[in-house]
Structure 1
Amino acid sequence: MSHPASEPVSLYADPGGGAFADLARRLDRGLSVGVETLAGLLVLVEVVVLLAGVTARYVFHTPLVWSDELASILFLWLSMLGAVVALRRGEHMRMTGLVSRVGPQPRALLETLAITAPVAFLGMILYHAVDYAMEEHFIVTPALEISNAWRASALPVGLALMMIAAVFRLMRVARPATVLAAVAITAAVVGAFWTAGPVLKPLGQANLLIFFVGLVAVNVFAGVPIAFSFALATFGYLALTTGTPLLVMVGRLDEGMSHLILLAVPLFIFLGLLIEMTGMARAMIGFLASLLGHVRGGLSYVLIGAMYLVSGISGSKIADMAAIAPVLFPEMKKRGAPPGDLVALLSATGAQTETIPPSIVLITIGSVTGVSIAALFTGGMLPGLVLGVALCAVVWWRYRHEDLSHVARTPKAEVAKLAAIALPAIALPFVIRAAVVEGVATATEVSTIGIAYSTLMGLLVYRQFDWRRLKPMLIETASLTGAIIFIVGCATAMAWGLTQSGFSQDLAAWMAGIPGGAYGFLAISIVAFIILGSVLEGIPAIVLFGPLLFPIARAAGVHEVHYAMVVIFAMGIGLFAPPFGVGYYGACAISKVHPDEGLKHIWGYVAALLVGLIVVAAIPWISTGFLAR
Structure 2
Amino acid sequence: MDVHSATLQEPARLPLTGLARAADRFERGLGGLVELVAAVIVLAEIVILGAGVTARYVFHAPLVWADELASILFLWLSMLGAVIALRRGEHMRMTGLVSRVSPGTRAVLEALAVTAAIAFLLMILPHALEYAEEEHFIVTPALEVSNAWRAAALPLGTSLMLIVACLRLMRLGALKPILLAIAVTAAFVALFWLAGPMLKPLGKLNLIVFFVGVVALNVFSGVPIAFSFALATFGYLACTTSTPMLVMVGRLDEGMSHLILLAVPLFIFLGALIEMTGMARAMIQFLASLLGHVRGGLSYVLIGAMYLVSGISGSKIADMAAIAPVLFPEMQKRGAKPGDLVALLSATGAQTETIPPSIVLITIGSVTGVSIAALFTGGMLPALILGIALCFVVWWRYRGEDLSHVVRHSSREIAKLCLIALPAIALPFVIRAAVVEGVATATEVSTIGIAYAVLAGLLIYRQFDVRRLGKMLVDTASLTGAIIFIVGCATAMAWGLTQSGFSQDLARAMSSVPGGGWGFLAISILAFIILGSVLEGIPAIVLFGPLLFPIAKQVGVHEVHYAMVVVFAMGIGLFAPPFGVGYYGACAISKVNPDDGLKYIWGYMLALLIGLVVVAAFPWLSTGFLKF
| TM surpasses 0.5 | yes
Q: Distance in 2 between matches of 1:179 and 1:13?
A: 14
Mapped pair 1:3 → 2:4: yes
C-alpha displacement at 1:12, in angstroms?
1.5
Matched letter for residue 580 of structure 1: F
CA deviations on 1:232-252 (whole Å, 9 max, x unpaired) are: 000000000001000000000
Q: Distance in 2 between matches of 1:165 and 1:549?
A: 37
C-alpha displacement at 1:13, in angstroms?
3.1
- Aligned counterpart, 1:285: 284
- Aligned counterpart, 1:204: 203
C-alpha displacement at 1:8, in angstroms?
4.4
Q: Distance in 2 between matches of 1:245 and 1:6?
A: 32
- How do 1:93-492 and structure 2 match up within 5 A? 93-492=92-491
CA contact (8 A) 1:4 1:91 kept: no
Q: Distance in 1 between matches of 2:308 and 2:519?
A: 33
Q: Distance in 1 between matches of 2:360 and 2:97?
A: 26
Distance 1:84 1:378, change over 3 A: same
Q: Distance in 1 between matches of 2:466 and 2:168?
A: 31
- Aligned counterpart, 1:13: 13
Q: Distance in 1 between matches of 2:3 and 2:34?
A: 20
Q: Distance in 1 between matches of 2:62 and 2:6?
A: 43
Matched letter for residue 180 of structure 1: L
CA deviations on 1:90-136 (whole Å, 9 max, x unpaired) are: 10000111111111011111111010000000000000000000000
C-alpha displacement at 1:375, in angstroms?
0.1
Matched letter for residue 442 of structure 1: T
Q: Distance in 2 between matches of 1:77 and 1:555?
A: 38
Q: Distance in 1 between matches of 2:461 and 2:304?
A: 22
Please give the secondary structure, in 2, of the residue aligned with 1:196: helix
With structure 1 as the length reference, what TM-score do the two structures score?
0.99
- Aligned counterpart, 2:64: 65
Q: Distance in 1 between matches of 2:563 and 2:522?
A: 14
C-alpha displacement at 1:178, in angstroms?
1.1
CA contact (8 A) 2:7 2:92 kept: no
C-alpha displacement at 1:575, in angstroms?
0.2
Matched letter for residue 403 of structure 1: D
Q: Determine what percentage of the aligned residue pairs are the same residue.
A: 79
Q: Distance in 1 between matches of 2:23 and 2:463?
A: 40
- How do 1:71-82 and structure 2 match up within 5 A? 71-82=70-81
CA deviations on 1:445-490 (whole Å, 9 max, x unpaired) are: 0000000000000011100000110000000000000000000000
CA contact (8 A) 1:4 1:90 kept: no
Please give the secondary structure, in 2, of the residue aligned with 1:626: helix
C-alpha displacement at 1:176, in angstroms?
1.2
CA contact (8 A) 2:5 2:582 kept: no
How many pairs align? 627
CA deviations on 1:160-208 (whole Å, 9 max, x unpaired) are: 1000000010011110111111111100110111110110011100000
Matched letter for residue 146 of structure 1: V
CA contact (8 A) 2:296 2:395 kept: yes
CA contact (8 A) 1:76 1:258 kept: yes
CA contact (8 A) 1:366 1:373 kept: yes
CA deviations on 1:555-607 (whole Å, 9 max, x unpaired) are: 00000000000000000000000000110000000000000000000000000
Matched letter for residue 152 of structure 2: S
Q: Distance in 1 between matches of 2:300 and 2:96?
A: 31
Distance 1:585 1:75, change over 3 A: same
Q: Distance in 2 between matches of 1:589 and 1:61?
A: 47
Q: Distance in 1 between matches of 2:210 and 2:8?
A: 28
Q: Distance in 2 between matches of 1:204 and 1:562?
A: 36
C-alpha displacement at 1:19, in angstroms?
1.7
Matched letter for residue 242 of structure 2: G
CA contact (8 A) 1:40 1:475 kept: yes
Please give the secondary structure, in 2, of the residue aligned with 1:627: helix
Please give the secondary structure, in 1, of the residue aligned with 2:626: coil
C-alpha displacement at 1:6, in angstroms?
4.9
Q: Distance in 1 between matches of 2:504 and 2:177?
A: 44
Matched letter for residue 291 of structure 2: L
Please give the secondary structure, in 1, of the residue aligned with 2:180: helix
Matched letter for residue 13 of structure 2: A
- Aligned counterpart, 1:557: 556
CA deviations on 1:255-298 (whole Å, 9 max, x unpaired) are: 00000000000000000000000000000000000000000000
Distance 1:262 1:7, change over 3 A: closer
Runs of 4+ with >2 A deviation: 4-9
Matched letter for residue 276 of structure 2: M
CA contact (8 A) 2:7 2:93 kept: no
Q: Distance in 1 between matches of 2:179 and 2:111?
A: 10
CA contact (8 A) 1:201 1:241 kept: yes
Please give the secondary structure, in 2, of the residue aligned with 1:463: coil
Q: Distance in 2 between matches of 1:533 and 1:4?
A: 11
Matched letter for residue 116 of structure 1: T
- Aligned counterpart, 1:48: 47
Q: Distance in 1 between matches of 2:486 and 2:117?
A: 13
With structure 2 as the length reference, what TM-score do the two structures score?
0.99
Matched letter for residue 428 of structure 2: P
Unpaired stretches in structure 2, ≥5 consecutive residues: none
C-alpha displacement at 1:5, in angstroms?
4.0
C-alpha displacement at 1:18, in angstroms?
2.3
Matched letter for residue 3 of structure 2: S
CA contact (8 A) 1:2 1:92 kept: no
C-alpha displacement at 1:217, in angstroms?
0.4
